[in-house]
Structure 1
Amino acid sequence: MDVVRRNNVTVTGNPDGPVVVLAHGFGCDQNMWRLTVPALAPDHRVVLFDYVGSGRAEPSAFSEERYASLDGYAQDVVEVCQALDLRDAVFVGHSVSAMIGVLAADAAPERIGALVMVAPSPRYIDDDAYRGGFTASDIDELLESLESNYLGWSAAMAPVIMGNADRPELGEELENSFCATDPEMARVFARTTFLSDSRDDLKKVRVPTLVLECNDDVIAPREVGAFVHDAIAGSTLVTLEATGHCPHLSAPAATNAAITEFLAALR
């Protein structure tokens, strides 16, 4: 199957500029980057896509076996980069996509030359001295709720994940995105996301990396941002004056400024 069609790949911006790949998180699609693209497009070639099982990607390409690990999603990224013959692209990954980008950069180092990790978390479950923000029972309950009543879970969790209770339209947008995702495919992506442990993979990162955290994020608390920053040698940590887990929607100006400053330093 043609990869560009499979992953609903969109290419926009300056065709002669450095390449930036924007990768969405769980339950989302490339439309979540609509406030970021205008800040990048004048100077960069911007590539967007949907993971199989999300957005307008080809649903017939979904395989529970392939996407039962983050490596399957990373393979999507590598194949998109190969199909477009991208070299030294900057991979901007939101939430779980930050870790997917780490895996993709390790698998195809010639394709990805830098990482921007937006609200990343290498492990959501607390472990000894590591604080991921959730207990094992928290995650079990979250997944059980998602699997038994996906629409109800979406309505309850979207405002929590988004934060910004004073701007309910943001939570509603995320809920609508969740609800547009096939529940069975979302179940697989959710289990893969919330049960993953990519902490050791962070040590393999050898490219310039920007870690963007929010000052109040229930999904990826600041202890997680500090952990990611400490684990990636030479990385830059920026704490955004933003609430919730989706700063590219809730605080686009601050998010875009941090990303464009990092991109300018690479040139």
Structure 2
Amino acid sequence: MSVLRRNQVKVSGRAGAPAVMLAHGFGCDQNLWRLVLPRLEKDFTVVLFDHVGSGRSDLSAWSRERYSSLDGYVDDVLDICAELDHLGPVTFVGHSVSAMMGVLAAVRAPEHFAGLVLLAPSPCFVDDPATGYRGGFSAEDIDELLESLDANYLGWSGAMAPMIMGNPERPELGEELTTSFCATDPDIARVFARVTFLSDNRDDLADVRVPCLVAQCSSDAIAPPEVGAFVHARIPGSELVTLEATGHCPQLSAPEETAEAIAAFAGALR
């Protein structure tokens, strides 16, 4: 199967320019990047893709065995990088759970990456009282979240998506994320949710050796500011920027600010 077909890869923007690869988070697809594209396409070659099981990816390529951990998604990212090797090293922009996919991919094969932009990242969503780490959720919170998702995925999506999006004064944003969640196959979503909310990649951060920008939102119910500060502190030489954007999806709620942050970082890597 073609890697480009499997992940519905699309390449646009300025031919011959440095490449920026945009990776979406749980319950989403590449369409959620559409508002940042006009700015990025002016100066960069832009690579979009869907994780297998999301968007218009080839669903026949999905298997529980492969995608029950972040490793399957990391393999896919590296497959795409290898297929598009002629573009040169990419600046990988990973939103939410995809931020840790980028971390793992860059640790495994740093030659493919000019840099990383970790947008609203979280290496671990679960609080760890023993170390003082605050991920934003207790273990009991996560158990209840996953049980609710298992019992009624559509109802869970309708309740969770607006909370994840934030910006209650702009209900259309929460409605768009709800629609995106509901378009995902519930069985695939259940597996991806466990990968998202139960992974712990805190120990992997110190192994990143490519330039890295940690971009957190000023208010985010999913990844609070303490998480961004933790990621920044653990990745050697990383930069930290706090966007004025609120919520967990700044590429939708504040696309201009988000695009400028990405462009400024990627442009400085030339």
| TM-score bracket for the superposition, by shorter chain length | over 0.9
Q: Give the total of aligned pairs.
A: 267
- SS of residue matched to 2:20: strand
Q: For residues 200 and 39 of structure 1, what CA distance do their matches in structure 2 show?
A: 34
- SS of residue matched to 1:50: coil
2:218 match: 215
1:108 match: 109
Tell me the CA shift for residue 87 of structure 1. Answer: 2.8
1:197 match: 200
Tell me the CA shift for residue 202 of structure 1. Answer: 0.5
Q: For residues 201 and 87 of structure 1, what CA distance do their matches in structure 2 show?
A: 24
Instruction: Give the alignment's TM-score, normalised by structure 1.
Output: 0.99
1:48 match: 48
2:249 match: 246
Instruction: Give the alignment's TM-score, normalised by structure 2.
Output: 0.97
Q: For residues 257 and 109 of structure 1, what CA distance do their matches in structure 2 show?
A: 25
Q: For residues 93 and 4 of structure 1, what CA distance do their matches in structure 2 show?
A: 18
1:14 match: 14
1:2-56 C-alpha deviation (Å, 9 max, x unpaired): 1100000000001110011000000000000001111111111100000001000
Aligned partner of 1:113: which letter? A
Q: For residues 9 and 89 of structure 2, what CA distance do their matches in structure 1 show?
A: 18
Aligned partner of 1:228 among 225, 231, 249: 231
Q: For residues 150 and 111 of structure 2, what CA distance do their matches in structure 1 show?
A: 38
Q: For residues 25 and 78 of structure 2, what CA distance do their matches in structure 1 show?
A: 17
1:81-117 C-alpha deviation (Å, 9 max, x unpaired): 1111243210000000000001111222111120000
Aligned partner of 1:174: which letter? L
Q: For residues 264 and 182 of structure 1, what CA distance do their matches in structure 2 show?
A: 37
Q: Which moved more, 1:253-262 or 1:30-39?
A: 253-262
Equivalences for residues 126-205 of structure 1 within 5 A: 126-128=127-129, 129-205=132-208
Q: For residues 83 and 265 of structure 2, what CA distance do their matches in structure 1 show?
A: 26
Question: Conserved in 2, the CA contact under 8 Å of 1:105 and 1:113?
Answer: no
1:76 match: 76
Q: Percent identity?
A: 67
Q: For residues 138 and 10 of structure 2, what CA distance do their matches in structure 1 show?
A: 38
Instruction: Give ranges in structure 2 of 5+ residues lacking alignment.
Output: none
1:91 match: 92
Instruction: Give ranges in structure 1 of 5+ residues lacking alignment.
Output: none
